Structure 1
Amino acid sequence: MPEGHTIHRLAAEHQRVFGGRVVAAASPQGRFAEGAGRLDGRVMAAADAHGKHLLLRFDDDQVLHVHLGIYGTCRFGPVPAPAPVGAVRLRLTGEAGHADLRGPNACELLGPGEAKALHDRLGPDPLRADADPDRAWRRISRTRTSVAVLLMDQSVVAGPGNIYRAEVLYRQGIDPRLPGRCLARAQWAAVWDDLRLLMAEGVRTGRIDTVRPEHTPEAMGRPPRVDDHGGEVYVYRRAGQGCLVCGTQVRTVEVAARNLFWCPGCQPTAVR
């Protein structure tokens, strides 16, 4: 599933292509025909993202809410747009380009109150200027739930997924199994600041790179990592391999139906 930086990139691209312009909307697949009809001919006023949710606001205060889920994609192209290929749920077309949405988990129109309710139930997003990390801390500091699970709970922190979760905990030397209430306030502040840094870099580059300059392939004389997400990482999907820093074998375990990765050497077991 795309992590939050990808959705913020999508929001920026929608703003660039459609912002302040009249948009033609159609549902070639037919599953969003009614919604597309309500958007057709409207002006897209603003594009926004909150965590893994894309929110496009139109001039009549309708909000198009998109959650890509595991299989969803959104691809941009030029105009005139070619005939749609495959199951295109929604095609938006403007004078500067078009965008095809396929296979989203959610594609729906919300009223202003419904959009606010969505924002309210999501945790703070490290990429948003209005984010309040103290709101997340109040949840984290009161629970026995592990920090690994909490960082994947979008009602606690919105945006990070499995990669950012594993990597930020590694970078801060935190045992991912540590209960939230055992995490020090200073540790949470460091995690939050690091998420902001890493995810902002992800928005800029379009990939997830988490290794520090001294641990890049060039600095260490090692081959670049080859992986679907295309970034240099410390522990994510490196189970059984030696830690880039201490050489300890990276471990993995399934937690809440997701694979968790960590280095026992750099993230020693804390009192729980």
Structure 2
Amino acid sequence: MPKDSAGHLIPGRISSRRAVPSDIPRPAYVGKPAPRKHTEGDVYSPGDVELIRESGRIAAQAIELVGQHVKPGVTTEELDRIGHEFLIAQGAYPSTLGYRGYPKSLCSSVNEVICHGIPDDTVLEDGDIVNIDITAFKNGFHGDSNQTFIAGTAQPEVAQLVERTREAMNRGIKAVAPGREVNVVGRAIEAYAKRFGYGVVRDFTGHGVGRPFHSGLIIPHYDSAPHYDDVMVPGMVFTIEPMLTLGGIEWDMWADDWTVTTRDKSITAQFEHTLVVTERGAEVLTLP
């Protein structure tokens, strides 16, 4: 089992990439070192928003299905298989597969992994938590979401972290309104998180999504970010995905150039939705 003597995660064995039927359209970045720079903005027509919603619904359903299989004894590799097979059955491409060389169809971030954990032969144990991050690409648009699940029964402070991270995301979403700068999202999230002494990760943020997987628009999850001053307007689409920790926010990157862990090995949770700014606030596009 890929954990060290202290119970902290270490890299496991990663299997080969899963096949995607040739009739499912790929994002343009597949097979390339990186996607092209996005220059078309983050505001979408109502018709395009509906296509993003379709991709988002598929991603949300995939996460819901994978979450039903999160339990002690299952490997994150098996969770990847479940998510992959669901996506292709819906005619959708797993957006992470081949994105900047990423080798799997979802991200599975266990315990101290902040984000971008690669599914492998890690076996979930009772009390572990795992974030499942899935993006579906269909009809030329991406829908991006994630949830944190508990395998078995977690310690009370860990279970509370999971639920409060979900609430932090919801508070960020409620802060969305046309005419406001995007930094209001982080202000709402950190104001809530600091009530419990949680660390609020700063270096990994929400982002514009739709035609591109990541557009370049940054949505901070922390307070004191006045330099992120893009003004929200109706039709703007982006993600909100706070990462909260039971300890610090310093992080380390594994040699795979993807897996990000808390430096102090503290437990961390994350939730994410893709949303569109409306005349009155925000509408979530990643619901099952």
Per the normalisation by structure 2, the TM-score is 0.24
RCO comparison, higher one (Cα < 8 Å, 6+): 2
Per the normalisation by structure 1, the TM-score is 0.25
**Which structure: greater helix fraction?**
1
Pick the structure with greater CA Rg.
1
